[in-house]
Amino acid sequence: MKAGLVYDPIYLEHDTGDHVENSRRLVDAMSCLNETGIKAKLTGVPARRASLEELQTVHAPEYTSYVKSKAEKGGGWLDPDTVISLKSYEAALYAAGGVLAAVDAVMTGEVDNAFALVRPPGHHAIQDRAMGFCIFNNVAVAAKFALNNFNLHRILIADFDVHHGNGTQDAFYADPEVLYFSTHQYPFYPGTGWMDETGTGQGEGTTVNFPMTAGWGDEEYLRVFDEVVVPVARRFQPQLILVSAGFDAHWADQLAMMKVTVTGFAQMAMILKELAAELCQGRLVFTLEGGYNLRVVASSIKATFDVLLGNPEIDDPLGKASIARKPEGFDERIEAIKRLHHID
């Protein structure tokens, strides 16, 4: 099994200072991969710049020009959460392009699957605006790239970041060729992603949101994947699976209130890998989104690569959280979503 790794030092040049989304997320992750010997087992996939033409399949030309100009003037704030520096525009081009390189490597058979360790993240960025630490929507640009270059007509984007990927949803809300699935804490930033957001026009039914209540953990997430993601994916028959992998639903993450473990993330990755093997010749690309506890991010990335490589044992150095009482309402929520999306 050949698992691809996309990484480039340019991602560290997106200088956010002491912002929670900072370069240490990748520094620590790469150190973990090196120290555990995982990196030596991976196939390096060189990142590249996304072209303006590729970016503008998702983003308005005026917006890409604005980001470039803002960075060239030394940076600043694109929105109340999203800061950029002198090198951030270049890093963002390579972040989007890094996911494109991963898609290309998987689609051409250079690797079986891949994980693009990129920053800045992307799934909140909308057509004409940065949001939530995100500048360009890396996974949306990658989906457009795959549709335009590999004669694909059905792509699944699975997003398990703790925050709803509003930008990705917006990009494909009316598009029947992309099935967007998201689990996310709700109500929470950015305030979107209720279950009745299911798409519009020809895209009706190809957006599947599973809003999660604070305090839910591995048991609930894995039931969602088994009882919702698997049947919806089988019905859709994707030709490629893209994954927005945010590790901020972990119990130790300081920005959220979920109870997922590193083992839980690995089990979700395994379900997606098995779906890819069953439905689309194993074509599977992960891209990094959120996750702000450095040890969690590093351990979860390492565990995901273990899954992609076919390693049978998952190392979870943080273990489980102590949970005094689980919030109720999960059974009612999953049944409501199954009815909404006609899942038997």
- Please answer whether residues 141 and 100 qualify as being in contact, where contact means their C-beta atoms are separated by less than 8 angstroms: yes
Catalytic residue among 59, 123, 124, 341: 124
Structure tokens at 261: 């473990």
Contacts of 152 by beta carbon, 8 Å cutoff, 6+ apart: 146, 177, 239, 240
CB 247 within 8 A of CB 253: yes
SS3 160: coil
Active-site residue, 184 included: no
Burial class (CB in 10 A: 0-12, 13-18, 19+), 5: buried
Residue 189: what are its φ and ψ, rounded to 5°? -55, 135
In this structure, are residues 28 and 112 in contact, taking their beta carbons and an 8 Å threshold?
Answer: no
Which amino acid, 312? P
Element containing residue 77 per DSSP (H, E): strand 76-79
Rg (CA), the chain: 18
> Is 157:180 a contact under the CB 8 Å cutoff?
yes
- Residue 105 CA to its chain's centroid (Å): 18
- The single-letter code of the amino acid at 94 is Y
SS3 of 20, please? coil
Catalytically active residues, by annotation:
124
